[in-house]
Chains A and B, each alone.
Chain A
Amino acid sequence: MPFGTGLLLLFFSLAALFREGREEVKEEGPWIGPYWKRVITTIISLSVYALILTRLGYILATFLLMIFLFWTPGYKKWMGTIIKAVLSVGITYFVFDKWLDCQLPKGIFGF
């Protein structure tokens, strides 16, 4: 079965290559948006979060992530960023961990 699907994928990809190779390339807008750096920082921050989550625990790791994400779009207001981060971490922690009993990782500091 996987062999068969692999074969089909190969077949359709070749078909796509043939068909689209013949079509003229249309002029389109820029392929990458003006703020492409944000895409990369977002991906990196999510990956780093996955790595530190079990070590630092949910509260600390998420707080750091939220600070970073709220801050990247160029908001210079630090107070607003911190308040939003604290609120989002606090509310999700209580809803998921306490109310819904979804055990979020505790980390080495025990919270």
Chain B
Amino acid sequence: MDVLTHLLEGFRIAFIPANLLYAFVGVFVGTLIGVLPGIGPAGTISILIPITFRIPPVSAIIMLAGIYYGAQYGGSTTSILVNIPGEASSVVTCLDGYQMARQGRAGPALGIAAFGSFIAGTFSVIGLMVLAFPLAKVALKFGPPEYFGLMILGLTIVTYLVRGSVIRALQMAVLGIFLSSVGMDVMVGTPRFTFGMIDLADGIGLVPLVMGVFGISEVLINVEQSLSRQIFETKIKGLLPNLKDWKDSKWPIVRGSLIGFFLGILPGGGAIISSFVSYAVEKRVSRHPEKFGKGAIEGVAGPESANNAAIGGAFIPFFSLGIPPNVVMALLLGALMIHGIQPGPLILKQHPDIFWGTVASMYVGNGMLLLLNLPLIGIWVKILKIPYPTLFPLILLFCLIGSYSINFTVFDILVMVFFGIVGYILRKLEYEFAPLVLGYVLGPLLERSLRQSLILSDGSFLIFMNRTISAVCILMSFILLLTPLIPHLRKRREALTREVEE
């Protein structure tokens, strides 16, 4: 009953015309950048954060969340039509979606992707509603040692799930924590690593850092290659999947929703991993695995549902623990903190409007996306035809404006360009940036909880072992980190990541 009144209140907030408009702008921009390769939700959200300073926090998060789930819809379009994943989370959609398009079945592929996303998105929002409160109640009893343990576990899981070398991921995570320590000391306020520069006193900005490593470096990688690309010309007709398509996709959508939702809750899981896992699962349970890669609709329905469901899941640790499980959520955390709101167990009590408004807007937004994507698909395809030589200066321009208008200093532009170069080189060396940004965002929280715990225990590290929850988390982290050293288990992890790549 209580839930129902809250939900109604949430819908009241979501249906305020201004908020409807923000939700629409969010999903529209999300679909747009989802369609455009080379700019992802992380980059876009960092560009738009300065704009949200001027609007109420609920509207801000409604819009930013809209970008996040809108991008998942848009990403599938490019994967299916041109075999270029608009987003990392729709890489696997290319495998079967593009094959379906070549067989003249682009319509059903796009249709099932949109419907699957809608169903999974709705499911995960319901899951979010049900799970966030019990978790927040538990979280209220957490002290600094528990938070420390949880964050260590989160960072470990991220590095474990990243494709490629675990050691490289660990390097990135630690580098991220290190970068976060630039600026004022979180406890006593002494400046660190500022080298006497006033601009560094507030630390390295999250937005310039993220836009550098995700936006600028991506552009640099792209301009290095030949800029022409081929668009597969296809007539899209009959967007509605037929009865057989539905029968084939029914269970993949259900499984994809569950996989996405639960992997989304895990730190570092998120949309990318869950789409890969869903594809691997579908291939394994299928009675005709040989059809995968040749246009099996299950290979589109499962992953596309999973990447949308992951988003609702990702909001759970965000709202109930205040821990962002991935880069995009980290940016949302930053946006809310600028408004003076600290996500965490107390947000549900102190700002119920934010939680319920966001939840309700996600229902509304998912509906808008269905309307936006199915009848208007032709427009998105046209946008795909914008040539990259025209597109990349615009991406750079938006990054410049975004990094400048956070603090109105040119210094942030230079920081962004610097991290763009760093990111460009690290991309060449096959490093992943998710652990870096997560380490950067969790760094101050991690440091504060560590030092508070040590104050509680008079400097004894045993406090992390005496508290059950933190002890379990830290032990699990150790086990995860040690498994790659055991040859048998290492092979299994490698097999897991390789299987989905193939």
Instruction: Report A's interface with B, CB cutoff 8 A.
Output: 1-2, 5-6, 8-9, 12-13, 15-16, 19-20, 31-36, 38-39, 42-43, 46-47, 49-51, 53-54, 62, 65-66, 69-70, 73, 75, 84, 88, 92, 96, 100-105
Contacts and interface: CB of A to CB of B under 8 A. Distances in A.
Contacts of A103: 408
9 contacts: A12-B167, A16-B165, A31-B428, A42-B223, A53-B413, A88-B393, A102-B50, A104-B405, A105-B404
Contacts of A70: 389-390, 393
Contacts of B401: 92, 96, 102, 104
A73 B54 CA distance: 37
A5 B450 CA distance: 13
Given A50-B413, A102-B50, A102-B51, A92 B167 contact: no
B171 A13 contact: yes
Nearest to B395: A69
B162 to A, nearest CB: 13
Contacts of B424: 39
Interface in B367-421: 388-390, 392-394, 396-398, 400-401, 404-405, 408, 410, 413-414, 417, 420-421
B230 interface: no
Nearest to A1: B447
Given A9-B174, A100-B51, A101-B54, A39 B224 contact: yes
Given A46-B400, A65-B397, A69-B393, 17 more contacts: A1-B451, A5-B174, A32-B224, A33-B224, A35-B227, A46-B216, A46-B413, A49-B413, A53-B404, A54-B410, A70-B390, A73-B223, A84-B393, A88-B393, A96-B405, A100-B51, A104-B405
Nearest to B387: A73
A32 to B, nearest CB: 7
B178 interface: yes
A35 B393 CA distance: 16
Contacts, number: 119
Contacts of B226: 34-35
Contacts of A49: 400, 413
Interface residues of B, number: 49
Contacts of A73: 223, 227, 388-389
Contacts of B390: 70, 84
A66 B393 contact: yes
Contact of A9 (B178, B224, B405): B178
Contact of A42 (B51, B219, B389): B219
A101 B54 CA distance: 9
Given A35-B223, A38-B224, A75-B389, A69 B178 contact: no
Contacts of B450: 1
Nearest to A41: B223
B464 to A, nearest CB: 14
Interface in B421-464: 421, 424, 428, 447, 450-451
B220 interface: yes
Contacts of A92: 397-398, 401
A3 to B, nearest CB: 10
B94 interface: no
Contacts of A20: 165
Interface in B153-198: 165, 167-168, 170-171, 174-175, 177-178, 181, 192-193
B225 interface: yes
Nearest to A10: B174
Contacts of A38: 223-224
Contact of A5 (B178, B227, B397): B178
Nearest to B414: A50
A99 to B, nearest CB: 10
Contacts of B400: 46, 49, 62
A88 B408 contact: no
Contacts of A66: 393, 397
Contact of B397 (A32, A34, A88): A88
A53 B410 contact: yes
A8 B388 CA distance: 41
A39 B216 CA distance: 10
A54 B408 CA distance: 10
